[in-house]
Every structure is written in structure tokens, then in C-alpha cells.
Amino acid sequence: MRPFAFVLALIPLTILLAGAAERACAAEIPSSWAWEWKNTDFERSAVDFKEIQSGGPPKDGIPAIDRPNIAPLAEIADLPNSEPVISVFLNGEMRAYPVRILIWHEIVNDTLGGVPIAVTFCPLCNSAVVFDRRVNGRVLDFGTTGKLRNSNLVMYDRQTESWWQQFVGEAIVGELTGTLLTALPVRVESFARFKQRVAGGTGDSGDSGATVLVPNRGSGRSYGINPYANYDSAARPFLYRGEMPANIAPLARVVVVGKEAWSLALVRDKGRLEQGDLVISWEPGQNSALDASVIARGRDIGNVVVQRRTGNGGNGGDSLEDAVHDISFAFAFHAFDPDSVIHTAAD
């Protein structure tokens, strides 16, 4: 399958022309925005509108999941062990969100452990981030705008129709401009490793109450198929016009912690990296979701765990707790943090 063939096939000529018109605009609001986004306050913005372009689909053209279908872990028999899941452990509850579903929907509005969360995945940046949906005492619900900035998903909340940058969790247009969502410490790991953690196989306590997101009936999506075949080996990102990082391939994966990043190749070669209280480790056994056309056949990119020492291990020792991080493409980290460091094997 040619890279992006599936995605481009979904984009009618009229939408492509509208996207080109948006890219040509200066500070004024494109007429298509005003028509489609009647409740968005375009007087408030943290970015130049010229930086935002159409990704092809219209508002909610990539449908978020608002009523997630959840099944007990013990009932899951059709998810390959090596496929990636976004695993969330909150207040004693454990849930896996298969990337094979997120790649088609990009957002799941859910509640876990009493916390309203938005599980998000931007395939074009390989960015998987889970946010607390509470802002100023109000619970927000998120959908897709159909827009991109730096090739990254621009979300919107249905309460104010403010636009949010998925990579950083910040409102960039609308009433809530400048507001930041709280990112939660989660892992992207193989389904096998999630099951091991639930069973306590890696030292974490768990119980039989773990659950997994499963497809809603009648969704019409080909779950398990990668519509972005060969994307993570492409020479350039899709619909990205910004500067590329100097010391690493733009679509190389990097482990992002705050304003610093380490190439996945470096973490893989070392097996374990320690910097201050930060501990980053790697083990094999997870398919890339953005390689082969069938996710389960994707090359092994391994599992990354990012933790911090807490000093609460007892007897003067340290314990480790998961840290907020992301495993994204290098170009995306560079686009949003151009002055920050990407450590590579060549350092």
C-alpha cells in the first residue's frame, strides 16, 4: 500500500481546495471556519491562523468515541499480544485502549477511577496522551476539528468549541485560550505487557477487574488495519511545513519528558537510561502501529517505561512511579519545542 493512499482517498477535491484557501489566509478568519464554527470565539487566539490548516476531514469527520464499549480483560480473545495499547491505571481501576481503535477515532471520552479522561492519539505525530477532562470545575467532552497544526491533531471541546492542541494539551483558539489540560502518566505498551502488569507479573499490584476498550457495534472501521501504512518510514511528515530537527530523522521516535527528549534508538541500545530521578527503560515486544498495513505485522519497536524515583521505597531505598511522557515523532517535538534537546546515540 502506498503511504497515505487511504488517507488521501478520503479527501474530496472540494475539501483540498478549502484547505488550500485556509493556508493562503492571513490573520482573517476563513469563511469556512465562520460557517462551521459558529460558537467558537475567534477573537481569542494564541496562534496565527495561518499555522492551522485543513487535514482533510470536516468537523467530527474522524468521530471521537463518546460512549466507550468496555469489556472485561478475561473476555478479550482477538487482540494480538504484540499490538500496542494505551494503558491507564487510575484509583485502582485499570483499562487498556487498543491503538487499533484509537488510530480510527483519535479521541475517547471516558471515565476511569472516578476521573473523567480524554484518551487521545494523533497518528501523524505518533503522540498518545491522556488528559484529565476537568477544567475549572467543568467536565469537557472532546471531538476532532479536522484541522492540523504542525501536522498535529487540533481537538475541540463541545462545551465552548475552543480548539486544543493535542500535543501539548493547550487551548489555542476560543474562549478557553491559554488553558492547559492536565496530562496523566500512562504507558503505550504491548497488550501482553498490560496483562502481565494486571496480574502483577512486573511487580505492580493488580486484580481481575481490568477492562479493555472494544469496538462499538456498527462502527464500520477495519480495526487492526493501519490506514497510514509505511508512514513511520516516510521521508517527510504529512502536511508539515515547519523546520526539521537537525540531528535525527523527522519520523524517528523520541521519548519526550517535559522539554527534553531521547531517541528511541538510544533508549533501545542502552536498555536503561538514568538522569537525575528519571529512569527510562526498554524491552522488545511491541508492534509499530504505523508500519505494516496490518498492525500485528508491524516491526518490533519495543516497550518503553518512563518512571521517577520517589524516595519512598522503605528502608531508605527508592521506589519508582510512572512519569508523564510521550513517545512521538522527532519533528513534532521539535515543532513545539524548537530550542529543546533531543539526545541521540551520536551524542
Mind giving me the DSSP string for 155-172? EEETTT--EEETTTTEEE
Rounded average pLDDT over 318-343 = 96
Give the range with max mean pLDDT: 16-20, 171-175, 342-346: 171-175
Tell me, yes or no, whether 249 lies in a domain: yes
pLDDT at 30: 85
Does 91 fall in a domain? no
| 192 located within any domain | no
Number of domains in the chain: 1
Do the domain assignments include residue 27? no
The answer as to whether 58 is a domain residue is no
Mean pLDDT calculated for residue range 161-190: 98
Report pLDDT digits (tens) over 47-81.
Answer: 999 999 998 999 999 999 999 999 999 999 999 99
The answer to whether residue 310 is domain-embedded is: yes
- What residue numbers bound the domain in which 261 lies? 231-343
Please report the pLDDT score of residue 336 as a whole number. 97
Cβ atoms of 71 and 212 closer than 8 Å: yes
Residue 335 domain flag? yes
What does DSSP assign to residue 51? Answer: G
The answer as to whether 174 is a domain residue is no
What's the pLDDT band for 42 if we cut at 50, 70, 90? Answer: very high
- Dihedral of CA atoms 240, 243, 244, 247 in degrees, nearest 10, equals -170
- pLDDT of residue 39 exceeding 90, the answer is yes
Arithmetic mean of pLDDT, 135-153: 97
Rounded mean pLDDT of 167-189? 98
Euclidean distance between CA atoms 269 and 46, whole angstroms? 39
What pLDDT shows up at residue 236? 94
- Long-range CB contacts for residues 20-25, cutoff 8 Å, separation at least 24: 22/49, 22/52, 22/53, 22/54, 23/50, 23/53, 23/54, 25/49, 25/50
- Total residue count of the chain as it appears in this document: 347
